[in-house]
Amino acid sequence: MRRFLIVALALAGLTYVGTAVAGDPATSTSVNTSFSQTSTATNPCNGDSGTVVLNGTEVAHLTDLGGGVFFVTTIDVGTLSFTDSSTGQVLSGPFASMFTFESTPPGLQFDVTNLFNTVATASDGTKVQYQLRAHRTRTPQGDYVVSFMIVSATCISTG
């Protein structure tokens, strides 16, 4: 959700910034050193649901070349912790995430990519890998020619 807010703010800023660009592109960067996000997930090792908490740092960058051509990139890094609702077991580990949105007119053309990866480990050695790979490409006519989202949660055997 946070990424869509960043894109919406970037789009809103294009009206102001995009019309003023004559030479160098307009750029902005924001750094959030303490974000936290909570969601639910399933533990693939036992099928139990649980709570996922991401704590980390996010760097967001916007480059506006004018004329509706702009690029938004965010990089998130930090720690993921998963608490199993049934057993109370906690798995944790580092995560990395990347999001890019590229608007390259004419028309309604854009590309968006989102990647996420972590391996979380419990005190007993249990490991879970969570991954997300998503991409969408839209043509100037508004047709989606590439669209996929692959989400995986894998129990990594410790024995």
Domain residue extents for the chain: 2-156
Nearest Cα neighbor of 25 from 55, 60, 67 is 67
Q: Which residue has the higher pLDDT, 67 or 4?
A: 67
pLDDT band at 107 (very low <50, low <70, confident <90, very high): confident
Q: What are the pLDDT digits (tens) for 130-155?
A: 999 999 999 999 899 999 999 999 99
Q: Is the pLDDT of residue 16 over 50?
A: no
What's the CA gap between 126 and 78, in Å, rounded?
20
Q: Is the pLDDT of residue 15 over 80?
A: no
The full 3-state SS of 126-155, as one line of letters, equals CEEEEEEEEEEEECCCCCEEEEEEEEEEEE
What's the CA gap between 21 and 11, in Å, rounded?
15
Which pTM does this prediction carry? Answer: 0.78
Nearest Cα neighbor of 158 from 111, 121, 107 is 121
The mean per-residue pLDDT over the stretch 30-35 comes to 95
